[in-house]
Chains A and B, each alone.
Chain A
Amino acid sequence: MVGFRASRRALLPPLCRAFARPGCPLGPERGAERREAAASRVSGFCPPRKSCRDWIGPPDKHSNLRPIHFYIPESESPLEQKLRQLRQETQEWNQQFWANQNLTFRKEKEEFIHSRLKAKGLELRSGSGQKATLDAEEMADFYKEFLSKNFQKHMYYNRDWYKRNFAITFFMGKVALERVWNKLRPKHKKSST
C-alpha cells in the first residue's frame, strides 16, 4: 500500500504542478510583514508561515460567504497581482452586498412580524416567554414584498457578479498559462545554451 501511494504521488500530472504556485522561497521579514498586513484585514486570521497557499475560513455570520485569505508570493507577477486584487475586491464587494442583504431581511422580517402581531392584538412574547411567530402562510406576504422590493438591486448585482466571475476565471486561466510558460521557458533556455 505504501508503494502504491508513493507511485501515485510520483505520477502527479505535470499540469497540476504547473498550476501550483512556484516553490515558496520563504523570504525574510518583508514577506512576513506583508502577510501580517493582509491578515489584519481578514478577521485577524494569520496563516502559518510555511504555508504558501490561500486559506479559506468559515462562513461569515452576516453574509454566509467564506472569506479567503490570499497568499502573496515573493515573486508575484503583475498578472498574479491583478488577479489577487480583483479577487480581494470582489470578495469585499460580495461581503458587503450579502451582509447588507441578510441584515435588511432579518430586520424587515422582525418589523413585519411585529406589526402583524400588533394588528392581531398579540404580544411579541406569549405568557410562557416563547417568541410568538407567524406561520409560513402569513409570512408569504412578506417574502413576496421583500423579493419585489429588491428586484432591481438583484438585477444590478447579478450583472456585476457574472462579469466579475468571468473576469476572475479568465485571469486565473491566464495566470495558469503564464506559470506553465515560465516552467517551460527556463528549461528551453538551458537547452539552447
Chain B
Amino acid sequence: MAASPHTLSSRLLTGWVGGCAWYLERRAVQEAPHTFMHLFRSINKRWITFQHFTFLKRMYVTQLNRSLNQQVKRKPEPVALPFLEKTSLGQAKAEICEMRPLPPTSLPLSRKPNEKELIELESASIIEGSLDAGKETKDEKHWKEMKLHLDDLPGILARLSKIKLTALVVSTTSAGFALAPGPFDWPCFLLTSLGTGLASCAANSINQFFEVPFDSNMNRTKNRPLVRGQISPLLAVSFATCCAVPGVALLTWGVNPLTGALGVFNIFLYTCCYTPLKRISIANTWVGAVVGAVPPVMGWTAATGSLDAGAFLLGGILYSWQFPHFNALSWGLREDYSRGGYCMMSVTHPALCRRVALRHCLALIGLSTAAPVLDVTTWTFPVISLPINLYITYLGFRFYTDADRKSSRKLFFCSLWHLPLLLLLMLTCKQPPGARGAGAEPQS
C-alpha cells in the first residue's frame, strides 16, 4: 500500500534533513561569535587582500609593459614601465583608459582577471597619485566604486537573504511536512520548500533593508551587503518583492491557501513587527519566537491542509527552542545591544533572560512527552530524546545559576545541534499511519 513508499520517502528525508542540519550546524559553529578569532581573521583577510592586490598590481604592470610593446602603433607615446610610478595621477589614468579597448588575445590572461586588474589598478592609480600624502593613501585604498558586478550578484543576494538561515527555516518546514500524517507527496513537498524559501529570503532582505545603520555598528552584522554598499536599497527591496510575490503565490496556489496565508503572516510578523520592536520593547523576543515557530506549522498545513494539534505541537517545540538559543546568544552581545539601542532581555532584565531560557528548556521536555499523546510520534520518542533534552536543560540551569559568558556560549552551541537532532529523532519515531490511537483525527 502507500506504507512502503511513504516510509522510504520519510527515511530519505530523514537522511537529507540530517545531513543538511549537520552541515548547517557545522557552519554555524565555525562562524560562532568569537571576537578574538574574528579580529584575527579580519586582520588576516586584510593582509591576504593586500598581498593579493600587490601581486595583481605587479602582474598587471608586467602585462602593461608587454602589451605596450605590442601595441606601439596604437599609442603615440608609449610610457616605459619604470616611469609609471613617477607619472602624475592624470597620466596614469590616461594609460588605464587607453588599456581598456585592447582585445583579449593581446594579453595571455583570461578576461576576468584582466578586468579585475583594471579595477584594482583603478584603485591603485588613486594610491599612486597620493603617494605624497602617505597617511591618506591607506584610507583611500579602501574606497570602492559602487558598481554592481554581475559576477558578484549571486553571492551578494545570498548574503542579503541570509541564505543559511533560510536553509534552516526550509529544513524545519520540511520536517513539519514529513511529520504530518498522510502519504508523502513529493511535488507538494518541493513546492512548499521552494515557496517557504522564497518567503524567507524576502523577509530577511527587508529586515536588512531596515537595519543598515544598526548593522553597521554591530560586529556580528557589519559585513552585510547593504552596509558595505555592494547593493542599493532599491535593488534590495526589488529583490525582496521578486521573492515574496512568487513565493507566496506558489504557496497559495501551488500548495493551499492556508499555507500561503501563514507565509504572508510570517513575513509581516518578521518585517513589520519583530524588526521595529527590537528597538522598542523586550517583547520582540517572544514575537521572534513565533516567527521561528511558524515554518514547521506551514509544513504541516501544506501536507494536511489544516491546523491540527500536531501542527501546534511542532510549532511549540520550535517556539520553546528559540529562547535558550537566542537568550544565550544575546548574553555575549550586551555591549553592542546597549550601544545600538536594542531592547533585549539580556540588557534590561538579565534575570528574566536566564529564567525564560531555563523555563523553555523544561518546556521542551514536556512537549517531547506530549508528542506521542497527540499521535505525532511513538512513545519511543520521549525516551530517546530525553538525554539531549536533559542535557540542554542542564546547560540552561548552569546558565541560570552561573550567568556568565562561558555558560551562555555552552548553551548556545548546544542549541545549534540540539534542534536538528531533535527533529531527526522525531522523524525516525514518526507514528506509522496504521497504528494511530484514539486521539488521532480519522484519515481521509
Contacts and interface: CB of A to CB of B under 8 A. Distances in A.
Interface centre among B209, B233, B337 (most CB of A within 10 A): B233
A72 interface: no
Contact of B348 (A53, A105, A144): A144
B411 interface: no
B146 interface: yes
A136 interface: yes
Contacts of B96: 50
B234 interface: yes
Given A5-B111, A58-B139, A143-B335, A172 B233 contact: yes
Contact of A43 (B139, B347, B348): B139
A136 B146 CA distance: 39
Contacts of A168: 233
Contacts of A136: 334, 404-405
B107 to A, nearest CB: 11
Given A50-B93, A50-B97, A94-B213, A66 B348 contact: no
The size class of the interface chain A forms with chain B is: 35 or more
A148 B139 contact: no
Contacts of A139: 334-335
A151 to B, nearest CB: 8
Contact of B216 (A66, A146, A153): A66
A101 B234 contact: no
Given A105-B339, A169-B237, A143 B279 contact: no
B139 A147 contact: no
Contacts of B387: none
Interface stretch (B2-10, B222-230, B421-429): B222-230
B210 A59 contact: no
A12 B150 CA distance: 9
A65 B110 contact: no
A155 interface: yes
B155 interface: no
Interface of B: 90, 93, 96-97, 104, 110-112, 122, 125-126, 136, 139-140, 142-147, 150, 209-210, 212-213, 216-217, 222, 227-229, 232-234, 237, 276, 279-280, 334-335, 337-339, 341-343, 347-348, 350, 403-405
16 contacts: A2-B110, A5-B112, A45-B140, A49-B90, A55-B143, A56-B229, A58-B142, A101-B339, A101-B341, A105-B339, A137-B403, A139-B335, A140-B347, A147-B348, A162-B276, A176-B234
Given A50-B97, A56-B146, 19 more contacts: A43-B139, A45-B139, A50-B93, A51-B122, A55-B145, A56-B144, A58-B139, A59-B222, A66-B229, A101-B339, A101-B341, A139-B334, A144-B350, A147-B347, A153-B341, A158-B276, A165-B212, A169-B234, A172-B234
